[in-house]
Amino acid sequence: MSGRTLGACAGVLAAVAVSTLPLRDHEGEARPSTALGTREGRASSPATGIRAHLRDEALSHARLRLRDNDRRALLAQPVDPTGALTGDSVECRFVPSATGGTSFKFDCGLADGKIIRVKYGHEPEIHAEVAATRLLAALGYASDHVYLVPHLRCHGCPPNPFLTTLVLDAIGLSANLERLRGTFKDFEWVSVERKFEAPPIEDDSRTGWAWWELKNVAAPRDDLDAMRMLAVFLAHWDNKADNQRLVCMDGDAVDTVPCRDPLLMIHDLGSTFGPLKVNLSQWRQTPVWMDRATCTVSMRAMPYNGGTFTDARITEAARVRVGRELAAFTDDELRRWFAAAHFPEYYAATDDGKDIAAWLQAYHYRVNQILAAGPCPS
């Protein structure tokens, strides 16, 4: 089957593929059947119990922040030692793989062998992830490195990588993708994600961490509540366990060795600034507090009844810390931050979503909700 025929076949079958996609809400990611990520096909063994014990032990003494605040990270592209991802153009080779979810994305290999995740098309996740990862990095939290790239050339790419792979895999013709080796496809304004470099701490049934598991973390309560507060501020409603990671900063293998320096991080920040994603009117109108008098936060009014996020009463120290840190950025910095993430180029529900001034107003409105509350009861 030729590359042209392969593309035509995928185009004809795309409608069928779309009709079989998991249900979602306005570009929302499909939810898994369980709250925690699972791995299938592994037989139970004594090693399973060892990995589960090591994972739970690491979770119990994990830290939440990577470093001190660095406001420069709000505006700068993430550091890329190779320089391959910070230019105007990126070249990579298509890696056939099941990427999951329903947003248009694919994996691609760089010349040095590193695999990157590319998101393309008019996807709100592209803009949400660029903005949210930079904000968390500026506040000292670990996050994946997400770059907004003007031009990407994918060698061996089918016409529509996500749908074509989905269709050909469904009908058992995915091997035909090898025939596209001599072809290429160009994409404009894509996001390129390079994962935070630290090995994940997982076991045979859990690939991330759920927000309700924070009750098992011995970190200071103020630190735990500060992370909860930021998740609510961003409206991180797609918070299934797969979208958070527990990683080991030791730099060693962690399957059978206890991790001395575990770290919690949010892995996927694409469903933010809503709900659902990059929706100005919803982000502006969704209250930060479920009960301001008791400083209680909740996500039960968001999609999936809040997912793995459980209601929590925020400490006064956490409220003050997060409010002041978010308020510390200047209007000029915030405007440049929204502009760098191309928020005006993507707007979903209302015309004012094209206006950076409106996003800036919504940001201040949400920060003021945090600052005006309290004092939170002990």
- Omega prior to 276 cis, within 30 of 0: yes
pLDDT, mean of residues 273-302: 96
Q: Which two tokens stand for residue 198?
A: 């630290």
Whether pTM exceeds 0.75: yes
* Structure tokens, 228: 């909860």
Backbone angles phi, psi at 326, to 5 degrees: -70, -30
Tens digit of each residue's pLDDT (9 = 90 or more) over 205-239: 999 999 999 999 999 999 999 999 999 999 999 99
Q: What is the pLDDT of residue 371?
A: 98
Asked if 225 and 297 count as a contact pair (C-beta separation under 8 A), the reply is: no
Confidence at residue 46, expressed as pLDDT on a 0 to 100 scale: 63
Q: What is the pLDDT of residue 12?
A: 38
Q: Which of 309, 126, 114 is nearest to 213 (CA)?
A: 309
Q: What was the pLDDT predicted at 34?
A: 35
What share of the chain in percent tops pLDDT 70?
Answer: 83
Q: What is the pLDDT of residue 353?
A: 81
pLDDT at 100: 77
The answer, yes or no, to whether residue 17 has pLDDT greater than 60, is: no
Mean pLDDT within 259-288: 95
Q: State residue 247's pLDDT score.
A: 96
Q: What is the pLDDT of residue 175?
A: 59
pLDDT band at 81 (very low <50, low <70, confident <90, very high): confident
Q: Which of 89-98, 178-187, 198-207, 276-285 has the lowest mean pLDDT?
A: 178-187
Report the C-alpha gap between 139 and 265 in whole angstroms.
13
